[in-house]
Every structure is written in C-alpha cells, then in structure tokens.
C-alpha cells in the first residue's frame, strides 16, 4: 500500500499520530500498557503533581440530543489522585517495557520550584516528553488550573521553571477558556516550551435538573462549572488550532491537537488544520481503546484514496483556507438542488425555510414535494442542513 502513518513530533518518532490524552484513560500502568499494545503510538499519562486531590462522586455528566447518547461530556476530575512516587514508578516501567512507544508525562505544580522538581523527576523516570497542564478548569487549588493558562506571565515563568529541570521537549497545554490563545502560546515558547497542545476542556454547565434546580452532576445538592469535552467541542478546538497554526510568531512550532476526535475524518481535519500529533480521551471513555483500529485503518484508506503517501503530504493543508469574513467571495449565490427521487416528503426543508429562512420553498401538499422559488432563495442552504436524508445539494450558481 505504501502508506506511512509515522511522523516526527518534537523530533521524537511516533509510529502513528494517535496518543491517549492526559486523563483517566491513561492513569496507571495497566491501562497504558493495554492501549499501547493495541496500537496507540503514545500516551500522555494522567497529570501528576505533589497535590493529591480529594474527588467528588458522581463526577461526570453527559450532554445528549435526540438519540445520541452523548455529544458532549462534562467532568469534575482533577489531577491524578495516586501518590507521586507510584506514578513515577509506572512512567519508568512504561518506558522500559515499551521503548518504541512515546511516553509523555503531564505535570502540574503549584509554584515554580514544584514545576522544576516535577520536570526533574519525570526526566529521571525516562519519559520522552513533558506536557505542562496549564488548563484544568476544575482544580480546587487557586494556584493551579485553567486560570494559570489565561495568564501569559505565569505560563512563561512556569515553562522556564520546567526548562530548568529538563532537556526534554516541553509541550504547553492550553486552555480554551479565553479569547486569544496565541498570547499564552507565544509566552510558552518564550519560556522554553517546544510545542503547543490544544485544547483542554471548556468551562461548562451541561444540564440542570428541573425538578430540584440542581445542576448536574448533583453532588449533595450542588455542582460546579467544569470541563466539557467530546465531539461537541471539536469546532472550538479546530478554531484555536487554526489560530495557532496561522500565527507568524508560532511558525514551525509543532501542534498537538485534541478536542472531540472520534473518527479518522476528525483526525484528517485536525491534521489539515496544522496538528502533527493527535490526542483523544472522551471517545476512548465512550468506546474503548479499540477505536485505534478504526482510526488507523480509516486514515490509511483515506490517504490511499487521495494519493497521500505520508501525513506531511496534507498536514496544514486547510490552514490558509480560513480567512477573515471580509475576505470571503460575496459575488454569487448557489441555489439548492433537490433530488426528487430520494425526497421522502418530510417537509422539514419547507418548515425551516419558512420559519428560519426566506420563504423560498413552496410546498405541494398533494405530492408532498418542495418546489424552489428562485426569486426568493438567497442560497443559504438551511434546507440542505436540515434534510434528514441529505437529498439536497448545491445546484446552479447565480453571479450577482
């Protein structure tokens, strides 16, 4: 077949771009070993530190829609609650037992000397890279978490502190809970980081129980704003990755992308947006480590079909196709085209066009068929977006 999924990330060879992201899915030796044996190229071990959290129960909530069990996922988990010594033993054994896989230690300190010490300890344990977690939105210690990632001075000084303790590649993991990610990303690189990872979870309230007005998960009558992940955050992740990939000051800085990756198609979108490494948690929590098989075969088949031999052939290919809204071509409209043979006559295009569009679809109730009124259609394609069987596509173009 001649397809090569291997890639250098921060000058470390990875057999494919897929890593477990730092979370519950990689929180002990046994879990990571199972995933690595199944084909994951690397693991970013659950964030470790001197701080040992006392966790709540329950700690998750799912955001659902219609028949989809969850489109987004909220968690209240902090960093590892295993003793640091135990985590270091697991990291060391993972590297010894899987020398050809990539073992990344995710660390979080409360002050500079803790960041330096953690960097030294994980370097001694033999890991390949260090990821700095500046971005957990539900830490109970004020000196840690997502708010650190919003403060470029702190990010820079903590990266410097980590650099003092290691010569390994440093990945700086960003919070999406800000407007402009480039600011802390540039500060990270100035502080000595080599790469940017995005995104950590998005601050959220997912659901409120309307019988007792308690947000979920209900922890003895209360809940907290905390991290949202999974498919629903993919659009937010791609937006930030595009921002990092485009920034002139971050040119050439390797990006590790995550946030809602579930399928090979998601993977292609992140790679085309400039990521050269991909990390996953929520899809693994839902479907298990075995998704790696579909990710690898799906990505390989996609590349074969497109004639790509290696990932570099299309990494970043979509970056410059995102432009500011004032640069978009506004000189034409595309009319929708209805496939009458496939149309099931559900009327959703008609309802949406009337109530949310420009009243450009007439409804022949006898035939249960939509008929387009070109004099009113402005080519918004809402009809195509709501069609449940995808029988509406782009048709004729009218130049203004």
The residue among 233 and 267 lying less far from ligand FMN, judged by its C-beta, is: 233
Residue with smaller CB distance to ligand FMN, 235 or 395: 235
Report the DSSP beta bridge partners of residue 13.
8
Transcribe 209-265 into DSSP letters: ETTTTEESS-BTTB---EEEESGGGHHHHHHHHHHHHH-GGGTT--EEEESS--SHH
Least Å distance, CB 23 to ligand FMN, is 3
CB of 241 to ligand FMN, least distance (A): 12
Q: Which is nearer to ligand FMN, 284 or 377 (CB)?
A: 284
Smallest distance from ligand FMN to CB 115, Å: 14
Q: Torsion over CA of 27, 88, 172 and 44, rounded to 10 degrees?
A: -40
| 114's tokens | 């803790």
Assess whether 136 carries a catalytic annotation. Answer: yes
Q: Which of 137/152 has CB closer to ligand FMN?
A: 137
For residue 79, the minimal CB distance to ligand FMN (Å) is: 5
Cα→Cα distances 195→55, 87, 250, 256, Å: 30, 24, 9, 7
3-state DSSP call for residue 332?
strand
| Given 14, 136, 383, 387, the catalytic residue | 136
User: Can you read off the two tokens belonging to residue 231?
Assistant: 């498919």
- b/e map 225-235, b = 16+ CB within 10 Å: ebbbbbbbbbe
Query: Minimal distance in Å, beta carbon 132 to ligand FMN?
Result: 9
CA–CA gap between residue 191 and residue 200 (Å, rounded): 20
Token pair listed for 237: 């992740």
CA dihedral sign of residues 153, 155, 161, 167? negative
**Buried/exposed 37-50: b ≥16 CB within 10 Å, e otherwise:** eebbbbbbbbbbbb
**From the CB of 400, what's the least distance to ligand FMN, in Å?**
41
Q: Which is nearer to ligand FMN, 60 or 98 (CB)?
A: 60
DSSP 8-state class, residue 288: -
User: What are the backbone angles phi and psi of residue 36, rounded to the nearest 5°?
Assistant: -65, -40
Q: Which is nearer to ligand FMN, 195 or 282 (CB)?
A: 282
Query: The dihedral of CA 225, 230, 235, 240: what is its sign?
Result: positive
Which residues bind to ligand FMN, rule: CB under 6 A?
21-24, 46-47, 73, 75, 77, 79, 106, 133, 136, 173, 200-201, 229-230, 233, 258-261, 280-283
- Please give the positions annotated as active site: 136
């Amino acid at each position: 077949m001649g397809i090569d999924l291997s890639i250098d990330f921060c000058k470390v060879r990875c057999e494919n771009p897929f890593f477990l992201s730092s979370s519950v899915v990689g929180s002990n030796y046994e879990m990571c070993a199972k995933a690595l044996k199944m084909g994951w190229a690397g693991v970013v071990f659950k964030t470790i530190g001197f701080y040992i959290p006392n966790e709540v129960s329950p700690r998750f909530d799912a955001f659902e829609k219609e028949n989809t069990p969850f489109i987004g996922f909220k968690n209240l988990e902090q960093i590892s609650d295993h003793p640091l010594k135990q985590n270091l033993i697991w990291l060391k054994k993972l590297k010894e037992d899987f020398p050809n896989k990539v073992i990344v230690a995710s660390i979080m300190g409360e002050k500079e000397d803790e960041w330096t010490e953690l960097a030294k300890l994980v370097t001694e344990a033999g890991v390949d890279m260090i990821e700095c977690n500046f971005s957990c939105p539900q830490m109970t210690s004020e000196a840690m978490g997502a708010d650190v990632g919003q403060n470029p001075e702190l990010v820079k000084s903590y990266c410097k502190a980590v650099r003092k303790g290691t010569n390994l590649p440093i990945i700086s993991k960003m919070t999406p809970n800000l407007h402009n990610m480039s600011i802390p990303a540039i500060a990270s690189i100035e502080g000595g980081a080599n790469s940017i990872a995005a995104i950590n979870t998005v601050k959220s309230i997912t659901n409120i129980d309307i019988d007792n007005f308690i947000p979920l998960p209900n922890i003895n009558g209360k809940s907290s704003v905390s991290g949202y992940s999974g498919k629903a955050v993919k659009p937010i992740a791609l937006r930030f990755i595009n921002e990092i990939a485009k920034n002139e000051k971050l040119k050439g800085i390797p990006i590790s992308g995550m946030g809602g990756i579930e399928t090979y198609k998601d993977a292609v979108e992140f790679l085309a947006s400039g990521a050269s490494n991909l990390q996953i948690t929520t899809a693994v929590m839902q479907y298990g480590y075995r998704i790696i098989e579909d990710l690898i075969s799906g990505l390989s088949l996609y590349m074969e079909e497109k004639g790509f031999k290696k990932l570099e052939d299309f990494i970043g290919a979509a970056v410059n196709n995102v432009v500011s809204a004032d640069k978009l071509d506004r000189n034409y409209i595309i009319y929708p085209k209805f496939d009458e043979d496939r149309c099931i006559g559900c009327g959703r295009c008609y309802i949406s066009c009337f109530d949310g569009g420009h009243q450009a679809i007439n409804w022949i109730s006898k035939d249960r068929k939509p008929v387009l009124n070109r004099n009113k259609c402005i080519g918004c394609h809402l009809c195509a977006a709501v069609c449940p069987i995808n029988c509406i596509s782009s048709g004729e173009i009218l130049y203004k």
